[in-house]
Amino acid sequence: MRVVLTGFRGSGKTTVGGILADRLGQPFIDTDCEIEKKSGMPIEEIFKEYGEAHFRNLEREVIATLPESDCVVA
């Protein structure tokens, strides 16, 4: 089962996702971390330099590459 957590920035998705993944025994994937790896920039800098639209494009690209196997995504 893949669990995907969505919500506003700062709402606790990463914290809850990590706890949930541990309890379910599944890997945890933090999309913000994946975006930072892909872009080589912190999220705050992406927003500042390129804006939210660019961040959302990166987010879509990262989500499209996620495994279809069991995991928790936030």
| Confidence band, pLDDT 50/70/90 cuts, at residue 68 | confident
Count of domains in the chain?
A: 1
Single-letter amino acid, residue 24: L
pTM: 0.84
Q: Is residue 67 pLDDT above 90, yes or no? A: no
Torsion of CA 31, 43, 18, 72, to 10 degrees: -10
What is the extent of the structural domain holding 37?
A: 2-73
pLDDT in tens, 18-64: 999 999 999 999 999 999 999 999 999 999 999 999 999 999 999 89
Contact 74, 14 (CB under 8 A): yes
How big, in percent rounded to 5, are the helix, strand and coil portions of the chain?
55, 10, 30
- CATH number at 47 reads 3.40.50.300
